[in-house]
Every structure is written in structure tokens, then in C-alpha cells.
């Protein structure tokens, strides 16, 4: 896989050594057990896969290269490059201005842009309407488009099934940048509706089976369906695509459920399923899948607590927290700065985004066992900082360099 040039301050020599060693030992990525960093009275287990994914590194490389190659030019970002506060802060400090916030609220009028300016499209992509507007302004959207290739893969798959007459069901958070972009692309090709979760999917299915009156649909799914969506005819032949940062298991469960609904509705056998339902399992993002599988593997290790590191508005990171919380006490932190002391930590609720201070989060047992992972937009350097902070509470920080040497040995 391509090696990207990202700022060195996002890298960690310790984490790189760990990841490289695991990659050499498990080239087929079949081993999802965590990596043990043994400090004696502190044991830290790192997830098999975590941190920057292909799409994030690609976006960061393009963004910082654009800044370096265009001194003196006005450079705008359509919205947050990725959902990580440090990366977005660094871009702002380099002079990049944000046109919108993460929910699409305008911060700088599009009218202020001219053909001499540069507009970077973030890793989540954008809507066709905005893309067309920027193109007309000559803002160089082709050269400065950092849309993740795996997001584009979902769009391409949507186009393929649309050409075969399928309507499109998008599994995603309706207000998320990526979902808005994916909905826009899908809706330009086929009737499209967004479902946030299985509960909404079950309700949507009732319009397929006829359990609900079609008129209710337009109220229940207001703002989530494409123009001129026809409940009677547009739910007869469907396929599911997704926001790539959703739980892969959730997307698959939604697709499986709708497939069974279609089988029962139209009395289908294995050969005729495709007449009403498209197989789109190939749209699940490899990085999302790997990180979530790694968390599942990590959770088989007995531990006292889990730390999940990443931006609070990061969808993929929130889902890692969700998985960990099912098994043991879990704390969602942006950085080591949220670890105040050995007895105090600032946690974020992944659902409500409520911030609260937690006392006595570390147990008195010996050794203390902590599981650690991070989201796809979290720099490895932040993970190392968290490890160093925790290790310092146990007078073990000096052992980190020793571990780096051990993992660096071929």
C-alpha cells in the first residue's frame, strides 16, 4: 500500500515499530489479538489495528502539500479535513480557512471565493451541488479533492446498482458530511432514502410490506429521501450502501434484514433474490472493518478499563467506544491532556457528547491492565502521548524507549 508523506509530528516511533512488527508477523491480517506493552505494574494492550487509515493519510498529504506549494494564495477547506481537532488546528495555523462547519453551516460566504483561490474538499467528500458551484468558480476541485477513495468506491457502487434499476438505501447519520455527500451522489442517479439505524430500517420495511400507509413515509422520513421519491414503486428493488465510518456489523445487519423482507414479500429463492435486492457487501470500508475487528479481538483480553483516543465528533471513533463499553469501563478522550492525574480524567459521552470529570478511573489492583485504541483520524503521536502519561504514573516512562528498540528488532 502507498506510503504517504504526513507531518512527522503526527508519527510515533514507538507505534510505528509496533505496527511494523505486527505487520511482518501477520501479513494476512488474521490475528486480531492486541499487542502487550508490559511495564510491570502497568500493562497496556494496543489494538491490532488503529489510527490513521489510507483515506486520512491521503487527505493530510494533499492538504499540507497544497499549503507548501502555494505560498501567498488563499486556501480554504470546505469543512473539517478530518474529525481530529489537532489536525484541523494545525491547518488553521498554516493559514487555511474553513468555509463551513461540520454540519454544513456557512462560516465564510461562497461569494468570497474567486478563481485565484484554492478550495480543498475534505476526506468525507461533498455534495454534487457544492462541487459544481466550486467548479464554476474555478476553485481547482479536481486537483485539491481529498475525498477518501473508499468513499468514492461507495459512490461508484451506488451508481452501478442504480443503472440496474435499484433504488438506494444509505445507512448513515443524516447530518454527517459523508452521508450528505453520499446521499447527493446516490440521489442524482436513483431514488434514495437514508436510514440511521436498525430501528429506522424496521420502520422503512413496513412500507415495503404494506404495514404502514405510504403517506406516513413522507412525514416519518422527512429530509431523508430524494426528490419525487415514490413509496409504491421505489421500494420494490433496493440495494444498501453506507457511510463508511458506521459499524460494519450494523450495515450488514441492516442489509440482511431488508434482504429477508424482500424474500418474504416477493417469495424469492436464492436465484431470484437479485431481482429485488442488490448485494453490496463490497462497500464496507477495510479500515473501519479492521479497526472494529481489532477492538473485538482486544476485548477478549481481561482488563480493568479501555481508553479510546480521537475527536469527539469522529463517527468511527465513537463506534469503537460503543464496542468497548459493552465489555468494560471505557473512557473517550481527545488527547493526553484529558488525563489530569492518576485519579482524575475528563471523559466524553460518545452518544450525547457530554463532557464530565471522572474520579478514580484507575483501579488499585496490580498490575493495572488497560486496553487502548484510537480512531482512523487520530495521529499515532497522540496515542504515544497517552501511553507516556499513564506510564509516568507508575514511574515507567523510561521503559518506552526500551520497548521501541525491542519492537524494532527484525
- What is the model's pLDDT at position 155? 96
Mean of pLDDT values over 135-141:
76
Question: Could you tell me if residue 271 is inside a domain?
Answer: yes
Question: Could you tell me if residue 270 is inside a domain?
Answer: yes
Where is the domain boundary, 233, 268, 284?
A: 284
Q: 111 and 95 in one domain?
A: yes
Question: Could you tell me if residue 214 is inside a domain?
Answer: yes
- What is the model's pLDDT at position 1? 60
Question: Could you tell me if residue 61 is inside a domain?
Answer: yes
- Per-residue model confidence as pLDDT tens digits over 51-70: 999 999 999 999 999 999 99
Question: Could you tell me if residue 105 is inside a domain?
Answer: yes
pLDDT-derived band of residue 410, with 50, 70 and 90 as boundaries?
A: low
Is 178 annotated as catalytic? yes
pLDDT-derived band of residue 274, with 50, 70 and 90 as boundaries?
A: very high
Q: State the pTM of this model.
A: 0.89
- What is the model's pLDDT at position 245? 86
- Per-residue model confidence as pLDDT tens digits over 366-394: 999 999 999 999 999 999 999 999 999 99
For residues 192 and 155, give the distance between their C-alpha atoms in angstroms, rounded to a whole number.
Answer: 12
- Per-residue model confidence as pLDDT tens digits over 346-367: 999 999 999 999 999 999 999 9
**Beta bridge partner(s), residue 238:** 167, 277
Residue 271, domain extent = 169-284
Where is the domain boundary, 232, 255, 284?
A: 284
Question: Could you tell me if residue 157 is inside a domain?
Answer: no
Where is the domain boundary, 89, 111, 136?
A: 136
Which of 368, 392, 395, 372 is closest to 382 using CA atoms?
A: 372
Kindly report the CATH number assigned to the domain that includes residue 358.
3.40.1010.20
Q: 319 and 279 in one domain?
A: no
Q: 279 and 296 in one domain?
A: no
Kindly report the CATH number assigned to the domain that includes residue 107.
3.40.50.11270
Q: 267 and 234 in one domain?
A: yes
Number of domains comprising the chain: 3
Q: 396 and 291 in one domain?
A: yes
Question: Could you tell me if residue 90 is inside a domain?
Answer: yes
- What is the model's pLDDT at position 260? 96
- What is the model's pLDDT at position 83? 87
Q: 299 and 348 in one domain?
A: yes
Catalytic residue among 57, 177, 178, 384: 178
Mean of pLDDT values over 96-104:
91
Amino acid at each position: 500500500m502507498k506510503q504517504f508523506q504526513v507531518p512527522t509530528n503526527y508519527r510515533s516511533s514507538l507505534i510505528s515499530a509496533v505496527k511494523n512488527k505486527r505487520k511482518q508477523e501477520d501479513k494476512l491480517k488474521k490475528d486480531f489479538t492486541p499487542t502487550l506493552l508490559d511495564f510491570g505494574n502497568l500493562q497496556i494492550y494496543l489494538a491490532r489495528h488503529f489510527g490513521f487509515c489510507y483515506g486520512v493519510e491521503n487527505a493530510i498529504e494533499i492538504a499540507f502539500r497544497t499549503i507548501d506549494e502555494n505560498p501567498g494564495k488563499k486556501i480554504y477547506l470546505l469543512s473539517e479535513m478530518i474529525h481530529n481537532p489537532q489536525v484541523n488546528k494545525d491547518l488553521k495555523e498554516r493559514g487555511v480557512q474553513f468555509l463551513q462547519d461540520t454540519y454544513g453551516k456557512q462560516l465564510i460566504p461562497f461569494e468570497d471565493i474567486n478563481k485565484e483561490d484554492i478550495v480543498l474538499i475534505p476526506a468525507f467528500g461533498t455534495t454534487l451541488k457544492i462541487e459544481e458551484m466550486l467548479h464554476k468558480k474555478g476553485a481547482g476541485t479536481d486537483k485539491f479533492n481529498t475525498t477518501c477513495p473508499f468513499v468514492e468506491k461507495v459512490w461508484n457502487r451506488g451508481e452501478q446498482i442504480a443503472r440496474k434499476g435499484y433504488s438506494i438505501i444509505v445507512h448513515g447519520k443524516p447530518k454527517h458530511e459523508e452521508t450528505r455527500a453520499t446521499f447527493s451522489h446516490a440521489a442524482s442517479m436513483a431514488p434514495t432514502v437514508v436510514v440511521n439505524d436498525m430501528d429506522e430500517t424496521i420502520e422503512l420495511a413496513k412500507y415495503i410490506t404494506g404495514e404502514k400507509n405510504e403517506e406516513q413515509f413522507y412525514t416519518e422520513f422527512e429530509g431523508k429521501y430524494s426528490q419525487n421519491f415514490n413509496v409504491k414503486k421505489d421500494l420494490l428493488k433496493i440495494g444498501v450502501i453506507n457511510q463508511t465510518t458506521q459499524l460494519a456489523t450494523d450495515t450488514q445487519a441492516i442489509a440482511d434484514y431488508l434482504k429477508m423482507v424482500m424474500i418474504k414479500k416477493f417469495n424469492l429463492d436464492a436465484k431470484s433474490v437479485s431481482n429485488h435486492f442488490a448485494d453490496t457487501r463490497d462497500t464496507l470500508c477495510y479500515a473501519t472493518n479492521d479497526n472494529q475487528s481489532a477492538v473485538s479481538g482486544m476485548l477478549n483480553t481481561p482488563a480493568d478499563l479501555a481508553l479510546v483516543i480521537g475527536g469527539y465528533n469522529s463517527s468511527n471513533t465513537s463506534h469503537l467506544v460503543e464496542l468497548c463499553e459493552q465489555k468494560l469501563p471505557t473512557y473517550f478522550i481527545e488527547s493526553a491532556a484529558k488525563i489530569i492525574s492518576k485519579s482524575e480524567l475528563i471523559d466524553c459521552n460518545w452518544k450525547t457528547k457530554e463532557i464530565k470529570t471522572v474520579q478514580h478511573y484507575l483501579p488499585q489492583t496490580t498490575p493495572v491492565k488497560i486496553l487502548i485504541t484510537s480512531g482512523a483520524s487520530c495521529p499515532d503521536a497522540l496515542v504515544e502521548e497517552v501511553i507516556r502519561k499513564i506510564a509516568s504514573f507508575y514511574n515507567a516512562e523510561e521503559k518506552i524507549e526500551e520497548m521501541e528498540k525491542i519492537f524494532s528488532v527484525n
